């Protein structure tokens, strides 16, 4: 493996802790730069496992995540294994389906399988001769001063914590002063159900993110290559706990998701609802992302987000490419690279976390309102007329454009929406308090995003 221009004259050892999506991709980035990479994962090798433990919510791969995959030559392969979703498909109580495009024509996100993506990235990392994958290796302790880690005693020049929302690497950060950390569990849990094919074909239109918004809860469905849909029910834990029998499951679905019953199947619903309890969702924020020149956090270890903007994986992948760009900028000097990485990434990742929280409210409730649908049409119209000035919110989040453009776009978009929506507001006045509070938070967080 040739060293990249400006690479180290003597190979340094980088230990990547965590063999999930971000850890496996990071191993590729560091190996490509010529570092000796040791990846450590607590679980067994998922490529040989009969049952893959861990989260299984389908993933939405966007432009930001694809750029990181492209950097290590993986974009085309992963894209070929995904299914494009060009719009949300809203399912009303009466069974009516209404599409809401994400942005301009041709724009889409990809539904990808988490386990398959993880396997592909591990295999890609293993193709580098300077990379070693270590499974069934649980980290016991580590030193920020020496880089010594207690598995069986491993020493590294840089430790990269990619070990998830409950990171063992991050525990060392918590022992230090001036480390900010917050963890928030939302009151909703999630449960996964499977919608099988009908006569060998998708039971619903496949190129959509299907949403059943029901105000305080919702269900979504993403397509899979095997012609199934993975349905995820998001609901307050107390609502999950009220349902204790198979008949109560069917009564609940008849009331809120009647069109889904024949597609999932009565027997499957009664069985799968009780297969696993509802799972919790946590949002994690912390700062700084590094200790000295020896350790840095990436992915969920640094910024776990709730899954309602589909940007958790994409933000984690973007961590990898941003870190790589800063490595190039500072000639792989860890003492300069790590503080700069914290400075650049913390505001962006915190903004994504807040927007993900807001988008849950939008997905489960606002998509049903006339005001929301009207605003979407205005956003898309103004974007068509002024594509470089006005950019819809979802597009901004996916691509992370310059914040000056965002500010200008928001100003014009707000003005256009106000003028164009006068008639609708008079006819169907919204609750101003409900609109202004989340909108104010949304815009303030969005403005924090900057070019990475």
User: What burial class does residue 12 get, using C-beta atoms within 10 Å of its C-beta: 0-12 exposed, 13-18 middle, 19+ buried?
Assistant: middle
- Residue 294 binned pLDDT confidence (cut-offs 50, 70, 90): very high
Q: What was the pLDDT predicted at 5?
A: 47
Query: What confidence tens digit (pLDDT) does each residue in 247-271 have?
Result: 999 999 999 999 999 999 999 999 9
Distance between CA 103 and CA 254 in Å, rounded? 33
Q: Is 94 domain-assigned?
A: no
Verify that 23 and 34 share a domain, yes or no: yes
Q: Is the pLDDT of residue 142 over 80?
A: no
Asked whether the predicted pLDDT for residue 70 surpasses 70, the reply is yes
pLDDT per position as a tens digit, 349-383 = 898 888 887 776 665 544 455 545 555 555 555 55
Is 1 inside a domain boundary? no
Residues 299 and 252 in one domain: no
Query: Where is average pLDDT lowest: 151-155, 188-192, 347-351, 448-452?
Result: 448-452
Same domain, 168 and 317: yes
Is 106 or 22 the better-scoring residue by pLDDT? 22
Same domain, 294 and 325: yes
What was the pLDDT predicted at 374? Answer: 52
How many whole angstroms separate alpha carbon 166 and alpha carbon 184?
12
Q: Find the CATH number of the domain harbouring 29.
A: 3.50.50.60
Lowest mean pLDDT among 51-60, 123-132, 193-202, 394-403: 394-403
pLDDT band, residue 83 (cuts 50/70/90): very high
- Give residue 14's pLDDT: 95
Q: Are residues 122 and 206 in the same domain?
A: no
Whether residues 386 and 311 share a domain: the answer is: no
> Do residue 296 and residue 273 come from a single domain?
no
User: For the chain, what is the mean pLDDT?
Assistant: 81
The model's confidence at residue 327, banded by pLDDT at 50, 70 and 90, is very high
Burial class (CB in 10 A: 0-12, 13-18, 19+), 254: exposed
> What is the Cα–Cα distance from 259 to 296, expressed in whole angstroms?
47
Cα(350)–Cα(198) distance, integer angstroms: 42
* Boundaries of domain holding 402: 369-447
Asked if pLDDT for residue 17 goes beyond 80, the answer is yes
The whole-angstrom separation of Cα 60 and Cα 88 is 12
Q: Are residues 176 and 316 in the same domain?
A: yes
């Amino acid at each position: 493996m040739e060293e990249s221009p400006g690479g180290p004259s003597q190979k340094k050892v980088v230990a990547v802790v965590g063999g999930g999506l971000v850890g496996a991709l990071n191993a590729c980035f560091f190996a490509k730069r010529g570092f000796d990479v040791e990846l450590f994962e607590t679980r067994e090798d998922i490529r040989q496992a009969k049952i893959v433990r861990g989260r299984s919510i389908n993933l939405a791969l966007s432009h930001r995540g694809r750029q990181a995959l492209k950097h290590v030559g993986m974009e085309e392969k992963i894209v070929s294994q995904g299914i494009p979703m060009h719009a949300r498909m809203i399912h009303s109580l009466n069974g009516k389906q209404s599409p809401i495009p994400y942005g301009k024509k041709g724009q889409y996100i990809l539904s990808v399988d988490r386990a398959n993506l993880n396997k592909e990235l591990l295999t890609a990392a293993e193709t580098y001769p300077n990379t070693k994958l270590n499974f069934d290796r649980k980290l016991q302790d580590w030193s920020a001063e020496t880089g010594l880690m207690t598995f069986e005693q491993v020493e590294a020049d840089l430790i990269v914590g990619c070990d998830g929302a409950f990171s063992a690497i991050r525990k060392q950060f918590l022992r230090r002063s001036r480390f900010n950390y917050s963890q928030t569990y939302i009151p909703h849990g999630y449960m996964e159900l499977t919608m099988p094919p009908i006569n060998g074909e998708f039971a619903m239109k496949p190129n959509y993110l299907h949403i059943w918004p029901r105000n305080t809860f919702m269900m979504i469905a993403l397509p899979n290559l095997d012609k199934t849909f993975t349905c995820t029910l998001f609901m307050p834990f107390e609502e999950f706990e009220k349902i204790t029998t198979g008949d109560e499951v069917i009564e609940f679905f008849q009331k809120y998701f009647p069109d889904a019953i024949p597609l999932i199947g009565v027997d499957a619903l009664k069985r799968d609802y009780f297969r696993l309890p509802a799972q919790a969702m946590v949002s994690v924020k912390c700062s700084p992302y590094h200790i000295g020149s020896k350790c840095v956090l990436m992915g969920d270890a640094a910024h776990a987000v709730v899954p309602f903007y589909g940007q958790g994986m994409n933000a984690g992948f973007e961590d990898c490419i941003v870190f790589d760009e800063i490595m190039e900028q500072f000639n792989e000097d860890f003492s300069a690279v790590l503080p700069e990485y914290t400075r650049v990434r913390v505001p962006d990742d915190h903004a994504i976390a807040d927007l993900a929280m807001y988008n849950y409210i939008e997905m489960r409730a606002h998509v049903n309102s006339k005001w929301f649908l009207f605003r979407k049409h205005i956003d898309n119209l103004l974007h068509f007329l002024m594509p470089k000035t006005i950019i819809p919110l979802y597009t901004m989040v996916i691509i992370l454009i310059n914040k000056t453009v965002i500010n200008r776009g928001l100003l014009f978009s707000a003005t256009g929406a106000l003028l164009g929506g006068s008639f609708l507001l008079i006819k169907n006045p919204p609750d101003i308090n409900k609109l202004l509070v989340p909108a104010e938070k949304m815009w303030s967080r969005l403005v924090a995003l900057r070019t990475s």
